[in-house]
Amino acid sequence: MAKEVTRHIKKEVERELWARSAGRCQFDGCNKILYKSSVTQEKVNLAQMAHIYSFSEDGPRGWGPFITNKQALNNLDNLMLMCHGCHRTIDQDNDGSKYSANLLHQWKQEHEQRIHIVSGIAVDKKSHVVFYGANISDQKSPIQKNETMEAMFPFKYPADEKPVLLSMTSALKDNDDDFWNSELKHLEAIFTKYIAPKIEENNPADFSLFAMAPMPLLIKLGSLFTDKIVVDTYQPIREPKTWRWQEEPDSFSFIVNNDKQYELEPVLIISLSGKISQDRIIEVTGKDVNFWEITVPEEFLHNDFIKAKSQVSLFRSEMRKLMVQINKLHGKQPLKIFPAMPISCAVELGRIRMPKSDMSWIIYDHNNLQNQFIKTITIGEV
């Protein structure tokens, strides 16, 4: 073997292998950076060039198809960039039954394809990742960083390594008297501290929002962003469990209902993730109100009907038209809003609000302890 081929790998092959792997270990699930120490951050070459089909005939995966062309063992297609530990792991599989050549080829292809997709994103697709309304620790958070990053690709990629965290750890519950006021003040303050400067810098003024919070606060957050800023609001999908957008369901639409008693106070019922009966609202408002309702066909009336980005866009469009009608017919009377809606729709409802032309919004939320709707926050002057 020594007479037929050496272990020498050409410089151009080594350069391309580094480029295709982005300097990371290609062992599936490792992804370790190989050009610096993870501890001291000093520049150091931690990479090893591992053979898929073994350099030695009696190696763990043998020569395979290279038995008649041993010179090609050092070609790019037969090499993977790996850290020492992962290289040792695959070569300790003496018969190649666990880490077969086919499996290693698959890992190499998937890793290089991922790098190709990520690095191929246009430079103007940077977006600030924003988390709101959850404990962000790996153990407790319903919002996982890796899942959200995957949902963005290949259309956007994070502007920073760490998300912007707008959450507040509070011992207060939504039935406590101070809860809504405390959360509202915190949201306004932290938005001013962390988000407003990024909008001002415009480098970029683009945000990808992942949220888990009560609907009134999501609506308020949307109103702070407004529709003048580029915001991609994501929806946690339960089946399949993901933040990544799916195909839009067939025959999907929104339905608007109205009592047409425009001389009475306006009430907007948002019956999307569940049906809200007028009787429950009358307990709070009395009978002298004009009901407006936006809902969906019965087969979509559940908490996991938003699957596609186009559905959120359609909701935004329908709500703009509906708010124009309500403003026109009710003037500056405050609008009482009773929402049962997906996270993404709650945020987008706030974003379509026009501060100079819309009446004030009084947002209600169902309180489980009191078993009724309660007034939570008001957006705009009453």
Question: DSSP for 46-101?
Answer: --EEEESS-SSTTSTT--GGGGG-GGGGGSGGGEEEE-HHHHHHHHT-TTSSSS-H
- Whole-angstrom distance, CA of residue 152 vs CA of residue 318: 25
Q: Which residue has the tokens 């407790």?
A: 140
Q: Which of 201, 233, 265 is the last residue of a domain?
A: 233
What residues form DSSP beta bridges with 232? Answer: 208
- Shared-domain flag, residues 103 and 137: no
Q: Which of 71, 91, 119 is the last residue of a domain?
A: 119
What is the residue type of 347?
V
- Shared-domain flag, residues 130 and 142: yes
Q: Is residue 238 part of a domain?
A: no
Instruction: List, for residues 326-382, the tens digit of each pLDDT value.
Output: 999 999 899 999 999 999 999 999 999 999 899 999 999 998 888 899 999 999 987
- Whole-angstrom distance, CA of residue 210 vs CA of residue 225: 14
- pLDDT of 172 reads 57
- Shared-domain flag, residues 115 and 128: no
DSSP 8-class letter at 274: S
Helices (H), the chain: 11-21, 84-91, 101-119, 145-152, 179-190, 196-201, 215-225, 278-285, 309-330, 343-351
Q: Is residue 365 part of a domain?
A: yes
Q: Is residue 248 part of a domain?
A: no
Q: Is residue 188 part of a domain?
A: yes
- Whole-angstrom distance, CA of residue 33 vs CA of residue 19: 13
pLDDT at 139 exceeding the cut of 50: no
Could you tell me the residue range of the domain that residue 221 belongs to? 123-233
- pLDDT of 2 reads 45
- pLDDT of 134 reads 46
pLDDT at 140 exceeding the cut of 50: no
- The domain tally of the chain equals 3
pTM for this predicted structure: 0.71
- Shared-domain flag, residues 139 and 110: no
Q: Is residue 61 part of a domain?
A: yes
Q: Is residue 240 part of a domain?
A: no
- pLDDT of 27 reads 96
Report CA-CA distances (Å) from 57 to 62, 63, 75, 81, 100: 5, 5, 16, 21, 15
Instruction: List, for residues 242-267, the tens digit of each pLDDT value.
Output: 999 999 999 999 999 999 999 999 99
224 burial (CB, 10 Å; 0-12 / 13-18 / 19+) is: middle
Q: CB-based contacts of 311: which residues, under 8 Å, 6+ apart?
A: 248, 249, 252, 305
| Exposure class string for 131-159: b at 16+ Cβ within 10 A, else e | bbbbebeeeeeebebebbbebbeeebbbb
- pLDDT of 142 reads 67
342: CATH: 3.40.50
- pLDDT of 381 reads 83
Provide the pairing of β-strand 230-233 with 335-340. unpaired
Least confident range of 123-132, 185-194, 262-271: 123-132
- Shared-domain flag, residues 98 and 183: no
- Shared-domain flag, residues 90 and 150: no
Overall average pLDDT of the 52-58 stretch = 90
Q: Which of 119, 141, 176 is the last residue of a domain?
A: 119
Q: Which residue has the tokens 């750890």?
A: 169
Instruction: List, for residues 76-103, the tens digit of each pLDDT value.
Output: 999 999 999 999 999 999 889 999 999 9
